[in-house]
Amino acid sequence: MSDPSTTSGASAKSAADGAAGNTPTIRLEGVHKTYDLGEIQVHALRGVSMEIYPGEFVAVMGASGSGKSTLMNIVGCLDKPSRGQYFLDGKDVSGLTKDELAKIRSQKIGFVFQQFNLLSRTSALENVELPTIYAGVAIKERERRAEEALKRVGLSDRAGHFPSQLSGGQQQRVAIARALVNNPSLLLADEPTGNLDSRTSIEIMDILQNLNDQNGLTVVIVTHEPDIAQFAKRALEFRDGKMKKDVLIHRRSIAADILPTLPSPDEEDRLEAIAGTEPAAKPNGSSAPK
């Protein structure tokens, strides 16, 4: 990440938001998570405290086993802390039942995963509709919401296509639309570009930046890629179950500025074809005789 602020800078921002009277979308107080594996206890999180305010775009980074996935499970109400408290939009959800957490998820949180998790025999529109079914939304309203969500990610013309008929980037757009269909206040994305090529990754980050900048959606992504974290506004780094860094990103990458500088997919194919027809180089670096 280029030129991030210091930890105190990020803390100062949170303090300013607090002084302005904003309620954090996410507030963790001394959160621990311990897993019992027979005679062994694994401490996945060790006393994590943090705040993320409405409209922030935060990247969570860390090596495998650092605790970032456990953090996302708790923030996404998929798991509960062993100790400590988690407040979502000001409400303590630490002690809620599984059914209560499921209701919170359907109302407030949208999820995007690395593997897309689309139903293969279901159209794009029907995949996007799924969360509205679980939320008890009426049939006509389900379809309207799904169509609008696909429009937001630029896939109105692919509503009737099945996942096998879509590229990886298009499948991830469908997954984002599905995450948006219930109008969540928080979008959680776990390695959203992990299965995508470089250009498609930036296209996905462009969508997430637009949702954050233009619609004010709070976005939290898990990534191990520093260049992807650069598209966020703030980065949290985890190691050994603890948050080691909390920094603002001053020189933020803007996907909309980068995309026009990249070759189109057709141009990339043409360049690769040309490269494939070039004669092999001799050991001394010169080309083989024609």
The reply to whether 35 falls in a domain is: no
Q: Which of 55, 44, 47, 43 is nearest to 85 (CA)?
A: 47
The one-letter amino acid code at 132 reads: T
State what percent of residues in the chain have pLDDT above 70: 84
- Evaluated on CA atoms 177, 181, 184, 190, the torsion sign reads negative
The torsion angle over the Cα atoms of residues 180, 182, 188 and 193, rounded to 10 degrees, is -30
The CATH number linked to 247 is 3.40.50.300
User: What is the tens place of the pLDDT at every residue in 190-208?
Assistant: 999 988 999 999 999 999 9
**pLDDT for residue 20 is more than 80:** no
Band (3; pLDDT cuts 50, 70, 90) = very low
Across all residues in the chain, what is the average pLDDT?
87
User: What is the tens place of the pLDDT at every residue in 212-271?
Assistant: 999 999 999 999 999 999 999 999 999 999 999 999 999 999 999 999 999 876 666 666
The reply to whether 226 falls in a domain is: yes
| Number of structural domains found in the chain | 1
Range of the domain at 224: 54-77+97-255
76: CB partners within 8 A, 6+ apart? 105, 109, 111, 188
Specify the pLDDT at position 19.
Answer: 42
User: What is the tens place of the pLDDT at every residue in 43-62?
Assistant: 999 999 999 999 999 999 99
277: CB partners within 8 A, 6+ apart? none
Specify the pLDDT at position 6.
Answer: 41
Give the DSSP H/E element, type plus range, for residue 208: helix 198-213
User: What is the tens place of the pLDDT at every residue in 148-166?
Assistant: 999 999 999 999 999 999 9
Q: Which of 148, 208, 215 is nearest to 176 (CA)?
A: 208
The reply to whether 181 falls in a domain is: yes
The reply to whether 120 falls in a domain is: yes
The reply to whether 206 falls in a domain is: yes
Length of the chain: 290
**pLDDT for residue 276 is more than 90:** no
Q: CA 177: distance to chain centroid? A: 13
Name which residue leads in pLDDT, 43 or 283: 43
